[in-house]
Structure 1
Amino acid sequence: MAQTFNITDDEVGKKVIAADGDEIGLVTEVRHGTAYVDADPSLTDKLMSKLGWEHTDDDAYPLQKSEIETITDDEIRLRQM
């Protein structure tokens, strides 16, 4: 069974890390239980597409809870995509 995460303002400032260890970005805000990520400029279009971020023109991209594997004090690690 998938774990359910409660996303709060405590996540602001945490690194977002892909399953392979690459840094994706930084959580800049939380709105209505959704973390928004300032994406690393080096992200590939393929990864942006997998995250559903390819058609978003915002400065911060929404991170879906279903993509999260774990949350620690320092980072949010994503599931294998």
Structure 2
Amino acid sequence: MTVELSKGDREKTVVSGNERIGVVTDVRGGRAYVDPEWDNVDEGLRETLDWTEDDDAHTVEESAFATAQNDELRLRSDLF
């Protein structure tokens, strides 16, 4: 199942496993722009998402999401 991101996904929580890893600040071009919660983003997930704390923008492609429900977007478990 593929998630189609929309402007309505702004401010949704991004979840990986049982961890809240950030909040969507914007959606553009099939990508969610995320404000990370660094304490909850382990090294493996940082590598998978290609995120560093030095970057200005932290994005997640819509193909990386398994589900979009109510107030959360859940990452696919097979990513890491």
Which is richer in strand?
2
1:66 has 2:63 as partner = yes
Aligned to 1:77: 74
Partners of 2:4 and 2:15 in 1: CA distance = 18
Q: Does 1:11 align with 2:1?
A: no
Q: Bigger shift: 46-55 or 20-29?
A: 46-55
In the TM superposition, 1:1-80 aligns within 5 A as: 3-18=1-16, 20-42=17-39, 43-54=41-52, 57-58=55-56, 60-80=57-77
How far apart are 1:31 and its partner, in Å?
1.4
Q: How far 1:64 sits from its partner (Å)?
A: 1.5
Distance in 2 (CA, whole Å) between partners of 1:63 and 1:56 is: 16
Paired residues of 2:32 and 2:60 also in contact (CA < 8 A): yes
Could you list the runs of 4 or more consecutive aligned residues of structure 1 that deviate by over 3 angstroms after TM superposition?
none
Compute the TM-score of the two structures, normalised by the length of structure 1. Answer: 0.82
Alpha-carbon distance in 2 for matches of 1:8, 1:52: 22
What TM-score do you get using the length of structure 2 for normalisation?
0.83
Structure 1, unmatched stretches of 5+, are none
Relative to total residues, which structure has the larger helix share, 1 or 2?
Answer: 2
